[in-house]
Homo-oligomer: A and B are copies of this chain.
Amino acid sequence: MAEEQLSRAPLISELSLWLSRLENRSRPGGGNSTFADRAARLRSFMAAGDIDGLLIADLLNIRYFCGFSGSEGLLLAQGGGMTLFVDGRYTVQARQESSGVNIIEVTDVTGGLLEILSRGTVKKLGFEASGLTYERYLKIRRGLSDGTEMVSLSCDIDGMRSRKDAGEIGRLKTAASIGARALGKTIESIRPGMRERECAALIDWNLVMEGSEKPSFDTIVASGANSALPHARPGSRRVEAGDFIVIDYGAVFEGYHSDETCTVALGHVSGEHRRIYDTVLSAHDRAIEAVRPGVLCRDIDARARACIEDAGYGEYFVHATGHGVGLDVHEAPRLSKISEQRLEEGMVVTIEPGIYIPGVCGVRIEDMVLVTTGGCELITGMPKDLMIL
């Protein structure tokens, strides 16, 4: 795989291919008005923080604020405008994808940024502390003139992404429906004797054939005792009758991720397995019932957790109940025991309680929901009643 490019940009953008699928649509990530709205929010944020320059280095945040989806770049907001620094590989792509920004082609994006900043128009430069390595921070700080101060910001910028607009919700729904079609096809093919890894590869294949850009993350297929490992890697174990199979997977559409988990049974189900499944499903349903604007994220977690504790499995629910999903598969808000965030209309979050009994079996049931005025709407589409294959 080629790494660095040295001089000129190719004259055709990679993205032209990708955009060809989007006939009659606006730019990826939203139309011009969407980007204008986001830029306006960014300006308010800067005004509130008394910052006259804001450096955005996280690539997903760059994509969110201007549409550019390349693998390297820096975005600088100052005054009323935004400047996107890219190297020659990405100039054409940046022109095609991005909106509302002045694009500057440079050999080195950090160097280009410093050159602009050397003009001294920015006195207080905010930056994302989580989006910059210390190495890059140092390079920028050392290159700044004495008149410019650097101010690290917490994750407020990530927070801006948590409420989705109509375009984002549409993309998330499309990703989820691609995922459901792919999983539906895969489940029809699962037979005793198939290896976990083969099942995962089949899901990945079906995801792409149904229109996913790629799998949303490393697909999890965990069977039998392996299902008790929340983050199992699909291995060489062959699925067999009596197994629970945890399938955690997702699709990507125009940069937006889906995330869903189905636990299915193969052949037959023991009474204990059924009891575990029903407990998780009940926790899942109770948590979803509680989703509405204003509710504390930790209260959603507590509700799922209480169901599982009441059934005597409390110690086996070893992770948080959910998280936001969007340009990243894990983003704000967090639905954990300690999360002080509140749900807001337009957030899209997962609800995914689980029970994992070491050496025995595990069950996780996960849906994505959109927080609406009156409660929530299901985004993912696979049925969650226990399927016995």
Contacts and interface: CB of A to CB of B under 8 A. Distances in A.
Interface string A1-27: 111111111111110011011000000
A318 B132 contact: no
B204 A3 contact: no
A21 B88 CA distance: 44
A98 B320 CA distance: 27
A202 to B, nearest CB: 8
Nearest to A246: B2
B330 A1 contact: yes
A228 B12 contact: yes
A330 B3 contact: yes
B320 A20 contact: no
Contact of A20 (B12, B71, B236, B337): B236
Interface string A214-254: 10111010000110111111011100000000001010000
B2 A319 contact: yes
A88 B197 contact: no
A318 B3 contact: no
A230 B5 contact: yes
Interface in A127-152: 127, 129-135, 137-138, 152
B11 A359 contact: yes
B12 A89 contact: no
Contacts of A366: 1-2
Given A218-B214, A235-B18, A236-B20, A3 B359 contact: no
B358 A11 contact: yes
Interface string A73-108: 000000000000000110000000000000000000
Interface stretch (A44-52, A205-213, A268-276): A205-213
A10 B356 contact: yes
A141 B271 CA distance: 53
A109 to B, nearest CB: 15
Contacts of A358: 10-12
A204 B130 CA distance: 32
A6 B230 CA distance: 12
A68 to B, nearest CB: 14
Interface in A277-318: 315, 318
A200 interface: yes
B213 A208 contact: no
Most chain-B CB neighbours within 10 Å: which of A319, A336, A354, A364? A319
Contact of A354 (B2, B230, B235): B2
7 contacts: A3-B330, A7-B315, A20-B235, A129-B133, A133-B134, A198-B209, A204-B208
Closest 4 CB pairs of A and B: A17-B235, A11-B358, A129-B135, A201-B208
Given A2-B364, A6-B337, A201-B204, 7 more contacts: A4-B334, A5-B320, A6-B336, A18-B235, A89-B230, A129-B133, A135-B152
Interface of A: 1-14, 17-18, 20-21, 71, 88-89, 127, 129-135, 137-138, 152, 154, 197-198, 200-202, 204-205, 208-209, 213-214, 216-218, 220, 225-226, 228-233, 235-237, 248, 250, 259, 261, 315, 318-320, 323, 329-330, 334, 336-337, 350, 352, 354, 356, 358-359, 364, 366
